[in-house]
Each structure stands twice: as structure tokens, then as C-alpha cells.
Amino acid sequence: MGVFNLFGLLRGESAERSGYELYGAAVQAARLPYYYATLGVPDTVDGRFDMVGLHAYLLIRRLSADPQGQKLSQAVFDAMFNDMDVNLREMGVSDLSVGKRVKTMWEAFHGRANAYAEAMKTGPETLADALARNLWPGERQEAAAARLARIVYAQDAHLARKSIAQIRALEDLFLTPEVAAS
């Protein structure tokens, strides 16, 4: 490790870089066709935002549970909303509107994360209800929501078995939804 890399570690750049890498892994997991083709999650900007948010939530939840992971948890969150800012700009949202839109997205993520955290304390049926409200608004998809709830619990348990070092190394971070659903 060079002197400049050491200084970067001291300034927290390693956590920032790892945050982006972990967020990228959450995005990759959220984009798997299973969610859209098999479970019928709407393949829209909102549907993809919700799936990315769900995977990021699970990762942040795991990292936040460990004192060694809290800085990394914040780095994942920061990477997510920096990415949202960039994506909005690339979609042509005016500079004056980006901040407002990112704030709305932050509020949506925060609300969903709180709902999922509370629901996970109660059980799969409550989580399935929360997922259905957010992912399939206006149309009840009980079977798909129940399958997704099982996947969420399996992903949560899988991440809980990982050390912070394994997570940081992106070691088998997320199960495939097919494996998690079984």
C-alpha cells in the first residue's frame, strides 16, 4: 500500500469506495430478471427504484447492526443517493428540480425502510403486505408478495451470516432470488 493510499484510508475514502461497490452489488441483485418476469414487479422507474431500495435496505440493515459496519452503512446510503442524483440528471431532470426529486426519493426510501423493519419484526405476512403496498400499488399481488417476503427473509439471514470483511469483499453478497425463494 502506497503512502497516498494510506492517507486515503485515513480520510475515509476506502469506506466511500466500498460504499459504491456495495451499492453496485445491490443494484445488480435488484436488476435480476426474476423479480420482473417471475414475480411481476413492474419494470418501471418506480419498480426498479423499489427493488434497488429493498436490496440497499437489506445491506444497510446488516451493516448498521455491527459497530464495524456503521460507517460503511452510511457510505452505501450516500452512494445510493449520489447515484439517484446522477440518474435524474441523465434522464433530463432540470438542475433546479433534482434536489427536490432526490428529497422525495429519500423520503420514499426512508418510509419503506421503516415499514420493512417494523414488518420484519412481526412476520412474513406483515412484510408481504408492506411489499405489496409499495411494489404493486392498487393491485393485490398476494402470491408474488409472499414469495418476495420469503426472499427478503432469506437474504437477510444470508447477510447476517457474513462478516463485515466478507461483505466488504463482496463475497457471495446476495443469493439469487431462485435460491432464496426455495
Which residue ranges make up each domain of the chain? Answer: 12-181
**What is the reported pTM?**
0.87
Per-residue confidence (pLDDT) for residue 89, from 0 to 100: 66
How far is Cα 146 from Cα 148, in angstroms, rounded to an integer?
5
Checking if the pLDDT of 2 tops 50, the result is no
pLDDT in tens, 55-70: 999 999 999 999 999 9
Instruction: Kindly report the length of the chain.
Output: 182
Per-residue confidence (pLDDT) for residue 106, from 0 to 100: 80
pLDDT in tens, 13-41: 588 899 999 999 999 999 999 999 999 99
Checking if the pLDDT of 178 tops 70, the result is yes
How far is Cα 132 from Cα 145, in angstroms, rounded to an integer?
5
Checking if the pLDDT of 152 tops 50, the result is yes
Q: Which residues contact 178 (CB under 8 A, 6 or more apart)?
A: 34
pLDDT average, residue stretch 100-107: 78
Checking if the pLDDT of 10 tops 80, the result is no
* Cβ–Cβ < 8 Å for 167, 69: yes
